[in-house]
Amino acid sequence: MAELASRERNFLVVFALGTFHAAALIAALVLVLYATGGLAYGHAQLNTNLVSPFPFTFPASASVTRVGWTAGAGVEWAFAGNWSAKLEGLYYDLGTTTLGAGPTVGGGVGVIGFVRSKDFELHGAIARLGLNYRFGGPVVAKY
């Protein structure tokens, strides 16, 4: 079975990743440390060649959009007037997607009962580096 696994070719690309999250803050005069967590969403393209016990391979692919969770931490530093810089690290988990393939006849019934599958775990870590500018002060209505 190790030989079969060595002939598999798996390919995963996360095309889009977005997050919505809230943060808990610890603030000093010009430095903010925070922990964050919330919703993550992403779109991925999955491709694989599944190898049978016979000398055949069966291609499988899928395009999936998944929703999951994210958690991380960061630091933001106010360095000049309204300017600040931030560094943030996030872990995201969009779950697992399984692709399966095998020889088929007619409506997709396996010819010899062989179906092979591959699990793709859609998770990872990202780092964000940012530069922020805060416009003006609080908005006050004047009548």
Return the domain boundaries, the chain: 2-129
Tens digits of residue pLDDT in 72-90:
999 999 888 888 999 999 9
**pLDDT tens digit sequence for 13-54:** 666 667 776 666 666 668 888 888 889 888 888 888 766 666
Helices (H), 1-143: 2-7
Spatial distance between the Cα atoms of 101 and 60, rounded to a whole number of angstroms: 6
Query: What are the E-state strand segments in the chain?
Result: 9-27, 31-51, 57-80, 83-101, 104-105, 109-110, 116-133
DSSP character at residue 82: T
